[in-house]
Amino acid sequence: MLSELKRLVDLQELDKVIREVTQSLEKLPQELEAESAALESMQAEYDAHGQELENLKKQRGETEKEVAEMEEGIKASRQRLMEIKSNIEYKAMLKEIGFKEDQRDQKETRVLELMELMAAQDQAMAGLTERLQEQDELVGRRSKEVEEQVAKLQKELAVLEKQRQELRKGVPAQLLKRYEFIRQRRNGTAISPVSDGVCFGCHMNILPQQFIDLQKGVEIIQCPHCQRILYWQEEALEEGISQGAS
């Protein structure tokens, strides 16, 4: 196998590892962001319950104040009732007192409803408190883990990039340019093995003469279908070159 072709095969395997490491580096912060977003959403839900609870407390206070004012009004009307001499006025006052008592009863019923709603909000917040604490602790742990993993992967990536630069030095600039061009358009696979005249990159047969020339190993040959740079699999296996085409 041509030395530059062998270097390209090794370079492709290295590029695939670099790609995996890079994807992991991108994925880790995204996972942490998802956990943080869940925490923020939970906190927003808790705050919403808290705001609703405050609104209910305010309504309860206002309603209880209205009940107290109505009680005073009813009490005053009953005192006036004792002073009325006319039977017609007496009946009218009784009717007025009855109306006020109905209004008071409605307000008292509303107070009870508000108290039930407040209890529901308290219960919801109590349940969220534990979940919030657990999620906050989870985010804290994951943040530390992600920081450590990112640092480790960055060191690994630096070593891989250095190895990549060394491999590239042994490949002619024009061939390297062709490799990068194909790799970007073929999902990271620019080099493909061939066995029995079939390109493993696209699973299509190459021309018989191309397969013969490939076996001779005197020139760089590309697949006429997918344009990947080809190498003979049997020769690669004999030379102990790893197979990584897809």
Map tokens 């919403």 to a residue. Answer: 48
Q: How many CB atoms lie within 10 A of CB 245?
A: 20
Q: Is the pTM above the cut of 0.85?
A: no
Q: pLDDT-based confidence at 246, cuts 50/70/90?
A: very low
Q: 48, exposed or middle or buried, with CB in 10 Å at 0-12, 13-18, 19+?
A: middle
By three-state DSSP, how is residue 232 classified? Answer: strand
174-223 pLDDT, tens digit each: 999 999 999 999 999 999 999 999 999 999 999 999 999 999 988 999 99
Q: What are phi and psi of 97, to 5 degrees?
A: -65, -40
